[in-house]
Amino acid sequence: MGKITLTAAIVICLSFTAHSAVVMDMLGRRVDVPDKKIERIIALRHSMSFISYLGAQSMVTAVERIDKKDYEKRPYVYANKDIVKDLPVVSEGGAKGIPSNEMMISLKPDVIFTVTQDASEADLMQRKLRIPVVVLRYGYSGVEFSDIYRSLELAGKILNREQRAAELISYMERLKKELDFKPDKRARAYIGGVSYKGTQGMDSTEANFLPFRLAGVENTADSAGLKGHVFLQKEYLTLMNPDIIFIDSAGFSLVADSHAKDSGFLKRLKAFAGGRAYLLPANTYYYTNIDLMLANAFFIAKIAYPDRYKDLDPDKKAGEIIKVFTGKDVFPVVKKDMGGFQRLRLTDREIKAEVIH
């Protein structure tokens, strides 16, 4: 743990005044937070996931409406549903959700957490509300463990959940070691249907996709020389023709609708022709779901390298991971809602999701 926790000393406590501690958030903003036990917080823009993983839900005084619906698609939301059901709503959430300044002021939170790449947005909110606004994040372009770890440490320090943050970081390090396989020849794969400002179709993908990196899989989109979310043209995907294709369940209906209108495209891809196309639980559904992202990495590794991971049960592993993060094994709920891990088979106008035996 020594190497991991060094970041906290750099990122978190910089100085103290008589009534506040100055912290540096994930955008390098210096923020004065109360030098006292934090009791009331508001979590915007999916920062609720970090708060939930740290076990600090009881401090939340209001939520976004998106954290009161689609319970089955995000494990932390399902685990929180009884906790947040009677809390006031300060924003619809999502890319277009605008929080109510008046309501947030009336609730008198000690700190507001948010996820954004725009420092000026956080600064403006803080000036208007006169409430500390601390930015967390998953990564700058794509998801990075370093940003996840630092965000957990930062929120953990502010909320007196440092031990819980350390436990989660240690657990993720152990998961990474379980997937520490370096094949002589990497399988080539593509992830389609990745959400980006809403649900998207087959052309929506992510370069530098963390589950592929963890599983030791070559990402078709990386050859474009970009990082983070990318829209790839059909012609490019046909040319690259990856060995394996995964579809994020958040965008599966759009992929299926497109196939119903034009069945020729997917039929040209060898992954579908060879029975190597698969459905994943939503890796991205209103930002990244860290627990599902990690569970997906194990399934991807098993599909790409079945001999190496012949004893791995993806459902069981997903349940374990989700329980560590949320306190509850709600993977059966996710599986019932989104299909879990399934093989995809083409018919003339449909894509059939089938249980893998």
Please check whether residues 324 and 297 belong to one and the same domain: yes
For 19-161, where are the alpha helices, taking DSSP H only?
Answer: 47-53, 75-84, 101-107, 119-129, 145-158
Q: How many CB atoms lie within 10 A of CB 112?
A: 24
> Does 290 lie in the same domain as 334?
yes
- CA distances to 1, 13, 167, 277, 330 from 151, rounded to whole Å, are 16, 14, 14, 34, 24
Whether residue 345 sits in one domain with residue 218 = yes
Residue 89 CA: distances (Å) to CA of 51, 61, 111: 17, 9, 17
Sign of torsion over alpha carbons 238, 239, 241, 242: negative
The CATH number linked to 95 is 3.40.50.1980
Structure-token pair, residue 306: 């079945």
- The vertex-203 CA angle with 280 and 350, nearest 5°, equals 65
pLDDT at residue number 320: 97
Residues 143 and 13 in one domain: yes
Tokens of 45: 């823009």
Q: Tell me: the pLDDT tens digits for 298-314?
A: 999 999 999 999 999 99
How far apart (Å, rounded) are the C-alpha atoms in residues 301 and 168?
Answer: 22
CA distance 38 to 99: 21
Task: Give me the pLDDT at residue 1, please.
Answer: 42
Number of structural domains found in the chain: 2
SS3 189: strand
For residues 103 and 71, membership in a common domain is answered with yes
The verdict on 160 and 305 lying in the same domain is no
How far is the C-alpha of 353 from the C-alpha of 44, rounded, in Å?
35
28 and 116 share one domain: yes
- For 344, the token pair is 């995809």
Residue ranges, the chain, pLDDT below 50 = 1-18
The pLDDT of residue 9: 40
Predicted TM-score (pTM) of the model is 0.90
User: Which structural domain range is residue 122 located in?
Assistant: 2-173
